[in-house]
Structures are given as C-alpha cells and as structure tokens.
Chains A and B, each alone.
Chain A
Amino acid sequence: MDTQWPRWEVFKQDTPSKPHQAVGSVHAVDPEHALLTARNVFARRPQAVSMWVARAEDVYAWTKEEILEGLATAKADPSLGTACRYLVFRKTSHKRSMTFVDHVGEVEARTPEEALQQAQARFSDSEALAWWIVPADKVYQSDPSQETVESWFAPARDKTYKQQQYYATVGSHISKHKRWRGVEDEE
C-alpha cells in the first residue's frame, strides 16, 4: 500500500497587486490540510496575502521544448464535453530561484491542450519558457476574509527571528575559517 500523501503545488501571492506564483509543493491529505501546511512552509518569510493549492496531478505542464516537439497537440475528440475554466501560469525567466511560474489569467476550453493553445494566443506579450494549466475547480484558495489574512500572514512580518539573516552574527563566512586554518597549517 502506498502510504505517501498526495503532493500539492503551492501558489503564493505576495501583495494584492502581484500574481500568484508557484513556490514549491507540500504533501497533505486534503485541500484544507494542504493550505494549512503550505502556510507554515512557505509564508514564514514576510510577504504573503493569499495562497492557492492544487493537486500536482491536476497540473498540466509543458516546457517550450515539449511544445516544439508537438507533445501538447490537442487530440481531436468530438465527444468532448462542455468547456470549463482553466487557470494559466507561465514562466518567462530563468533568473528566479524562489518561484517558478506566475499566474497570468484564465481561459475557457474543453481540454487542457485546447486551454494551452488559447493561453499561447492570449498571453503572448513575452516568451513563455513553460506553461502550467490547471482546471479552475481543482484550485483551492485560502480564505480571503480579513480575519484569516491577518492571522495567517500578518504576524510573519514582525518575526525577523524566523529569518536566516537574523542570526548572521552567530554564523560567519567560510572564508574566515579557511584563513584561520591556513595560519594554523603554516605553524
């Protein structure tokens, strides 16, 4: 029996004017648990106002290279049901280390592949290195009420002791120890 809990992708929004960004993933038993866990793992740094989670298996992801290879071609299937909403996320830079894709908007489509085609057409303002497409009904959001935003995200701002830099005086740069060791070696 596989006892591993499912993996959830976590999207964090730093301020109301910024998009939700993929920051990493957590293991959790259900959406509520995933949000609680995500808050602990990813909102310990000061900025956050909202979080989304989605099961990793509900995320359809393609890189630029995979699209060029034709791996994202929509399968023509007349039996496809009605259109539904998909959230679109896009990666446009290799320079970021803390986040992956940014939320850019949403489209309505019958399949994830169709959603990708629409996303490529609609969000063409800069080159996409990777796309994530997630059915909107598979994305769970943290409670937007003022009280929850306050209790989930506001206190982190005051907790500088939870940041690594706070302890900078205790640690010291490796080079210092190397120099010291060098002196000792010479003796």
Chain B
Amino acid sequence: MRSEVREALIAKLTALADDEVILAHRNSEWVGHGPILEEDIALANIVQDELGHATLWYGLRQQLDGSDPDQLAFFRDANEYRCCELVELPKGDWAFTMLRQYLFDLYEALWLEAARHSTYPPLAEAVQKIIREERFHLQHTQAWIERLGQGTEESNRRLQQALEMQWSYAQQLFVPIPGEELLIAEGLVPDLAPVKERWLEHSTRHLQAAGLKLPINPGYQPTSRAYHTEHLWSLLAEMQSTARWDAEAKVW
C-alpha cells in the first residue's frame, strides 16, 4: 500500500471509530435515566454495540500503525479527535437522542452496505460483522421516530425541534476527509456521494411519514473534523478521567 493511501486509511478508520466512541459515550449518559427500564436497557445495548464497532475500527488502525486503541480513546485530547460534531452535542431529551441515533444508524447502515465490497479484506470482514446489528438498531430507532412523530402534539414538537437542530449537523457525515478520494479511487471505502443520496431519500421519506417537516434553512453545517464543538472537551474530561487518574493501573 502506498504511504499516502495508508495515511488516508488510518485517518478514515480513526474518524469512523471516533464517531462511534463519542456517540456511545453520549448515549451512555442515559443509563439509569431512560424513560422506562426496557428502553434504558435497549439504549445501553446499542451503546455496547457502537463501542464494539469502535474497537473494530481502532483494531484495523492498530494493524496499520501499531497504535493502542485504549491510548487513542483515553489519552488523546479533543483537538486530536476526528469525530463529527453531531455526535458531540449534549444528549438533550429522548426525542433528541432518538433522532440523532436514527440519523446516524441510517448513515451507518447505508455506508456499511456500500463498504461490503471494499478491496481491503480486513475492512470488508469488519463490515460483515457489524452490518447485521446495524439493521436492528435502525429498526429500533426508526420505530421511535414514527411513534414520537405521530404520538402527541408535544412529542411531535420535541422531535421537530431536534430535527431543526440536527439536520445540518448530520450532513457532515457525508463530507469526505482529506485524502478520502485516494481511498475511493482504490476501492477501499465507498464514495460518500451516492451514500448521501440514499440517506436523503430514506430519511426524507421516513421523517415526512412521521409527520415532520424538513428544515428549510440550511443552518450551521460543520465541514472539517479537525474542529469541534465546546461540548467535546467536557465529554472527554468525564470519559477519560478514570483512565488518566492512574494510567498504569492493571486491576481496578
């Protein structure tokens, strides 16, 4: 593998993993606070799955540059993270959390489907492992969008409010990282443009069927993954505190 392709692949795997870790941590804030015990368990289940995906992506990166996944997750500062801003936003209410998880699940499921034929065997293999559980996640969050959207006036209002906020942030999921065109040219990862087209088609249909209106104003749309919202700093301070407290700890 040419060195610039290898560098781009490392960056892409990092972005994929960082999205999963940060979203998982955000959603883990619901543990013990879910609207009902069953949904508390269900969301914790999704969180564990997303962390599992992050472990896979960091693991692929480790094969390329020997980096330690735990070091990446717990000892990098916010400026070194390459997650998108959508996953950093505070968890908000249940509608906000379910909508974000839905928009992300749909993106992930469609991206994975397109990435099944990656020319990089370790990536194609990882995709096979996680694509099954993404289908289930998507069914679950999709069901919540329908029920909140068509539920009461209040649940619809809250979901609509979340959509106004998140819609433009979500578009960042489809902004290629620097060097991604090299990976696409070699068939290592799929082109994001057709994935976005399918995402827009699916999400628009489903959100409108749930009684929601797509925002007309484009709003703030982040582009570079080198920049983050202020929320990432406090999230990492909490997430990394135990690991940084005693970096040499083997048993706890």
Contacts and interface: CB of A to CB of B under 8 A. Distances in A.
A40 B134 CA distance: 14
Nearest to B35: A5
Contacts, number: 51
Interface residues of A, number: 25
A152 to B, nearest CB: 6
A151 B48 contact: no
A28 B38 contact: yes
Nearest to A37: B38
Chain A interface helix/strand/loop/mixed: helix
B45 A33 contact: no
B196 interface: no
A110 interface: no
Majority secondary structure of chain B interface residues (helix, strand, loop or mixed): helix
B48 A162 contact: yes
Contacts of B36: 5, 27
Given A29-B147, A33-B147, A162-B48, A40 B132 contact: no
Interface in B70-114: none
Contacts of A147: 135
B52 A151 contact: no
Interface of B: 36-39, 41-42, 45, 48-49, 52, 129, 132-136, 139-140, 143, 147, 251-252
Interface of A: 5, 26-30, 32-33, 36-37, 39-41, 44, 147, 150-152, 154-155, 158-159, 161-162, 170
16 contacts: A29-B147, A33-B147, A37-B42, A39-B136, A40-B41, A40-B45, A41-B38, A41-B42, A151-B133, A151-B134, A151-B136, A151-B139, A152-B136, A154-B132, A155-B49, A155-B136
